[in-house]
Amino acid sequence: MTTHAPTSAPRAGSRPAASSGTRRPTSPRPGRKADRGVGERPSAVSTGILLLGAAYCLLPVLWVVVASTKSGGELFSTFTFAPSTHLLDNVGDLNAYRDGLFWRWMLNTAIYAGVGAALSVIVSAMAGYALAKYRFRGKTVVFNLLLAGVLVPGVVLAIPQYLLLAQIGLTNTYWSVLLPSIISPYGIYLARIYAAASVPDEIVEAARTDGASEARTFAAIAVPMMLPGLVTVFLFQFVAIWNNFMLPYIMLGDDKLFPLTVGLSGLLNQGASQPALYTLVITGALLSIIPLVGLFLLLQRFWQVDLAAGGVKA
Amino acid sequence: MRLTTGTKVAALLATTALLAAGCSSSDAGDSAGSGDAGDSGDTAAAGPVDLTFWTWAPNMEKVVDLWNAENPDIQVTVNKQDGGDPAVTKLLTAIKAGSGAPDIMQAEYQKIPTLVSSDALADIAGNVGDDVASGFPEGVWNGVTLGSDAVYAVPQDSGPMEFYYRADVFEELGLDVPTTWEEFADAARTVNEADSDMYLGTFSATDAGWFTGLSQQAGASWWGIDGDAWSVDIDSEATKKVADYWGGLVEEGVIDNKPMYTPEWNAALNDGTQIGWLSAVWAPGVLEGNAPDTAGTWEMAAMPQWDASAPATGNWGGSATGVTTQSEHPEQAAEFITWLNTDQEAVNALVKEAGIYPAYTPAQAEALAEPPAFFSNQENFYELAGEIADTAGSFTYGPNVNVAFSAYNDAFGKAAESKSQAEFLDAVDTMQSTTLDDLKNSGFNVSE
């Protein structure tokens, strides 16, 4: 919920940055910037719609920021968007909760999302490259299965995955969340598109002619060409794991292994006889989106690639 | 560089080899049995037993720390879970999967039949002393034995229901504390007339446990067991009376129809538009958490009565601590949960740290010497609570409480939304038929 807004915000912001031409000095459209600058004026209507969209995305974030500065009593009694001065107290309370367990959750989420996304990128790149560049029996079947996999929501698979992992005694470990995160049909699908589009067959042929092994061709030649696409796969998977609730919720019993989503949910659901720790949850939510916002600011230029590819694949 | 890597690999290999050797040698020791490995065998037996404990009571780890400090051989780790239903669902999944369940589990009373029928809770009758049973009120103890010779859990806290009200507003409006439901209805009208935004309470269609408590007070017991045959008696006169009463007040508009535990309800507690709450003995903690600025303005009284000559109350909430069937150390686990819920030091800590109302009678006097901080204006809070708790009737939960409760949410949700007294009565019938059908379809022996 909370991360939707920040993900959309940098995306919307990256459009003008991309079209300003600074990112692609070699772009074959040098006249475009000038055309736009002189000829068109942004219409009031479209600006208004964009502003509305921005407000729609940013208001919830603003709410989280404001609410996290309120004390427990003020949260339900003062005006919604009137900030208060208790942010540091709230962070202090959160820090004190079970000896700083929140930071452990933060670290866990970073591990699940970081390691999971990295492993997922490796698998996706290999599988996508193989599907795009090799001809083998059953390729169509595999690809169609993958397409079907894209349509199956991960939530549906959580229970079967739990039962399978329980059989080999891996539930309630880091692996129980990491392993299912490695395979991402959508990531493989994207990687296949990128491999087909960005790695010409001629180059693969040339590498083979020069005596490079298949592994080397992939690692030294295909991967660098697919890199922008792989960053997109990484971001997709990173955000998906960061926001994932159901899988870790079912897999994990030990609260020291919880990611942020499951940990914060526990603070809300304390049973009927206990008050929900609203201020801690809100402050925790605010802190938990900071790394995501940072990541997007750092990597947002790669999203431009995704937007273009998105137009093709959709 | 190359050398460093080589060294690392060598070190890694060496470590692995050592580990493997360690494992195999201990295996050998175990299989050798007594022999000259008697020494290592003893260490293994006396080695600390590690138990995991799923709970959602706040600060439970602080209570458990007391145990861990005194019992180096039985170390308990607290894993905090989402309260109530989610924890039970998770436990049942783990039981079905065959692994992943904790050793010890907090379970609300209404979930115990479900857990027992899913074979999730171990019978610890042999590990819990007979003297333990005598310390609990009979109704509470029945909740963990289900009327059999088995013991499936040790009761931790109970939730006798009481009436909480804003004493300052009552004084302002010249209201007396209602002692019967008739007076309660009159008070609700007076409050709503004084200010159309102000309510004496709300009918919460999302808190089935609350409605269960109200029905229990009226004399209902929704399930029954005779031998191994279950019966469902939700649509009894008692339940209908309660539904009819609340439906009337909601239709009249003098009682709010919004659920409890929402931000809106919290705001209403803060700004004084909800000035009463039919709740249980744990209410002070919730009020303190949601409306800290109203401290000192609330007071507690006994529930309004149907029959003033025979005072009664119901239970809302409360839970017990059980040992799961997957635990490899049920004996030690039973020892721990007995200590947790009956030892004076442990009960004192539970009251202080987790804010619960302990079910174990002998430990109450010392642990409940002071009123809750939020009710420091009411010196005799726990004295009064104790008297009220004694009037709680008995109530039997069945194995499909979750179905009945979700039927409550659906049916009463619609009825409260449309503010129709007739629909409140229909909702009771819906609950009855849904629950009965589910029980039959699940393969239980059902008598009608």
Q: Lowest mean pLDDT: which of A50-64, A75-89, A115-129, B408-422?
A: A75-89
**CATH number of residue A183's parent domain:** 1.10.3720.10
User: Is A250 among the domain residues?
Assistant: yes
Q: Is B173 exposed, middle or buried (0-12, 13-18, 19+ CB in 10 A)?
A: middle
Please judge whether A253 and B79 are an interchain contact, meaning their C-beta atoms are less than 8 angstroms apart.
yes
Please judge whether A271 and B266 are an interchain contact, meaning their C-beta atoms are less than 8 angstroms apart.
no
B window 188-227, beta carbon within 8 A of A: 207, 209-210
CATH superfamily of B48-158+317-373: Periplasmic binding protein-like II (3.40.190.10)
* pLDDT of A39 over the 80 cut: no
- All residues of chain A having their beta carbon less than 8 Å from the beta carbon of residue B280 are 273
Domain count, chain A: 1
Size of interface A-B (CB pairs under 8 A): 114
Please judge whether B58 and A255 are an interchain contact, meaning their C-beta atoms are less than 8 angstroms apart.
no
User: Is A77 among the domain residues?
Assistant: no
Do B155 and B320 meet the contact criterion of CB atoms below 8 Å apart? yes
Count of all residues that appear for chain A in the document:
314
Cα separations in angstroms, B67 against A21, A195, B56, B345: 67, 59, 18, 10
pLDDT of amino acid A46: 92
User: Is A212 among the domain residues?
Assistant: yes
Question: Which position has the token pair 């750092």?
Answer: A298
Distance CA A8, CA A12 (A): 6
B window 297-336, beta carbon within 8 A of A: 316-319
Torsion of CA B346, B350, B356, B357, to 10 degrees: 30
* Confidence band, pLDDT 50/70/90 cuts, at residue A305: low
Nearest Cα residue in chain A from B161: A273
User: Is A100 among the domain residues?
Assistant: no
Determine which helix (DSSP H) or strand (DSSP E) holds B36, and give its type and residue range.
none
pLDDT of amino acid A14: 40
Please judge whether A273 and B280 are an interchain contact, meaning their C-beta atoms are less than 8 angstroms apart.
yes
Rounded mean pLDDT of chain B? 87
Torsion of CA B383, B385, B390, B393, to 10 degrees: 170
Please judge whether B83 and A166 are an interchain contact, meaning their C-beta atoms are less than 8 angstroms apart.
no
pLDDT of amino acid B8: 47
User: Could you tell me the sign of the dihedral formed by the alpha carbons of B244, B250, B255, B260, in that order?
Assistant: positive
Half-sphere exposure of A299 (CA within 13 A, CB side): 21
Residues 6+ apart with CB under 8 A from A89: A71
* B289 shares contact with chain A (CB less than 8 Å): yes
Please name the member of B79, B207, B267 whose beta carbon is closest to the beta carbon of A254. Answer: B79
Q: Give the 3-state secondary structure of B382-410.
A: HHHHHHHHCCECCCCCCCCHHHHHHHHHH
Using beta carbons and an 8 Å cutoff, which residues of A are at the interface with B? 72-73, 75-77, 98, 159, 162-163, 166-167, 169, 171-172, 249-250, 253-255, 265-266, 269-278
Please judge whether B52 and A253 are an interchain contact, meaning their C-beta atoms are less than 8 angstroms apart.
yes
Read off the pLDDT of residues B242-290 as tens digits, 9 standing for 90 and up. Answer: 999 999 999 999 999 999 988 889 999 999 999 999 999 999 989 988 8
B window 112-151, beta carbon within 8 A of A: none
Residues 6+ apart with CB under 8 A from A232: A190, A194, A302, A303, A305, A306, A309
Distance CA B227, CA A123 (A): 58
Do B164 and B277 meet the contact criterion of CB atoms below 8 Å apart? yes
User: Is A62 among the domain residues?
Assistant: no
Read off the pLDDT of residues B213-250 as tens digits, 9 standing for 90 and up. Answer: 999 999 999 999 888 899 999 999 999 999 999 999 99
Torsion of CA B318, B322, B326, B332, to 10 degrees: 150
User: Is A195 among the domain residues?
Assistant: yes
* Maximum separation of any 2 CA atoms in chain A, in Å: 74
| CATH class of the domain at B159-316+380-441 | alpha beta
Distance CA A122, CA B57 (A): 42
Whole-structure pTM value:
0.80
Read off the pLDDT of residues B48-85 as tens digits, 9 standing for 90 and up. Answer: 899 999 998 888 999 999 999 999 999 999 998 888 77
- The boundaries of the domain holding residue A203 are 107-276
* Confidence band, pLDDT 50/70/90 cuts, at residue A308: low
Residues 6+ apart with CB under 8 A from B158: B137, B140, B281, B315, B318, B357, B359, B389, B392
